[in-house]
Amino acid sequence: MILKNNKENIASAATEILDGNIVAFPTETVYGLGADGLNPTAVAKIFEAKQRPSFNPLILHISSRDQLKDLVHIENDKVYKLISHFWPGPLTLVLPKKEIVPDIVTAGNPTVAVRMPQHPIAKALIEACNKPIAAPSANQFGLLSPTTAEHVKKQLGDKVNIILDGGKSEVGVESTIVEVTKDKVWLLRHGGISLEQLKEVCDSVKIKEIDSNKPNAPGQLLQHYAPMIPMKFIHEVSLKELEGKRIGGLFFKKNTTEIDFAHVEFLSQTGDMREAAANLFFHLHELEAKKIDVILVEPVEEKGLGIAIMDRLVKATNRYR
């Protein structure tokens, strides 16, 4: 059930979590499917609901810096620098875990991913629980991430009792994931904080080579984040392939083709990359709900948040190659 934003509903959601159940809640990036991060049985319910392969570790969401010290060892001062610039916000830090973090959260990894979200409802919910909340994006495994409560209802409505409504997620793509080791900062997933922003704070950020056979982040799988309707890049289809099809289009600013679309969406008509990121999953959900046979998408410039957007688009189109 979708519940509107008020104190009582947040309190009910907190009770549900402390009772060992799962709740969907808004964050500024995408909606999360949360459980008590220190209760392994509760966390197992997340995997069950998402039908997610169990090798994928989860992010623990916290509401204060003090909570971080209970969960991880901090062996590099860069951690403090990153936190002071980007928390609360769309940055997830992967750090050596302490004993208290259950193995099911980290999928047996010696490290754990932690993030302090900025969304007031996420913050209030974590505070009310007074526990870290383990949460992946609230979508079925491999499908589009949700940026509204309705999106969650569409994919997981029969599996979760409470969906807290916090409106449309402002950032619209998942958090940037960074692993900080004793002497290095590794970028594991492009997201809401751009590589340029990270480099302003940490002079050297290394991009981790991805072994797609053994990913430790599903965002590192080569196919992911896909709509249920085939999606292709515009420059990769032939007109012949499109004959007789109802076509949906996703453009950055304007329709640059003469194709006869049944429906089109624009990421940002003013050409603002931040607005484009915020609209990305939202428009893909809209297109998915139309009666169309194929979605044609225009690539965006791989600069700033455009890198995270293209990462999602490439993975979604890979499913239909």
Nearest distance in Å: CB 263, ligand TXA: 28
Can you say how many angstroms the Cα of residue 232 is from the centroid of all Cα atoms in its chain?
A: 21
Tell me if 176 contacts Mg ion by CB under 5 A: no
Tell me if 227 contacts ligand TXA by CB under 6 A: no
Dihedral sign from CA coordinates of 88, 92, 95, 99: positive
Instruction: Give the span between the Cα atoms of 64 and 317, in whole angstroms.
Output: 38
**SS3 of residue 247 by DSSP:** strand
Site residues for Mg ion, 133-172, by CB under 5 A, read: 137
Among 39, 216, 268, 317, binds ligand TXA (CB under 6 A): 216
Site residues for ligand TXA, 141-180, by CB under 6 A, read: 174-175, 177
**SS3 of residue 256 by DSSP:** coil
Tell me if 175 contacts Mg ion by CB under 5 A: no
Instruction: Give the span between the Cα atoms of 154 and 147, in whole angstroms.
Output: 12
CA angle 271, 276, 280 (to 5 degrees): 150
Nearest distance in Å: CB 276, ligand TXA: 17
- The two tokens of residue 5 are 């934003």
Q: Which are the contacts of 42, defined by CB distance < 8 A and separation ≥ 6?
A: 17, 20, 21, 22, 35, 36
Nearer to Mg ion, 173 or 300 (CB): 173
Among 39, 106, 279, 317, binds ligand TXA (CB under 6 A): 106
DSSP 48-95: HHHT--TT---EEE-SSHHHHHHHB----THHHHHHHHH-SSSEEEEE
How many CB atoms lie under 10 A from the CB of residue 188? 20
Among 59, 91, 128, 247, binds ligand TXA (CB under 6 A): 59
Nearest distance in Å: CB 264, ligand TXA: 28
Nearest distance in Å: CB 58, ligand TXA: 5
Tell me if 58 contacts ligand TXA by CB under 6 A: yes
Residue 132 touches which member of ligand TXA, Mg ion, none, C-beta under 5-8 Å by kind: none
Nearest distance in Å: CB 90, ligand TXA: 6
Binding-site size, Mg ion (CB under 5 A)? 1
Judged by the rule CB under 6 A, the positions of this chain that interact with ligand TXA are: 27, 29-30, 32, 56-59, 90, 92, 94, 106, 109, 111-113, 115, 135-137, 174-175, 177, 188, 216-219
Given the rule CB under 5 A, which residues bind Mg ion? 137
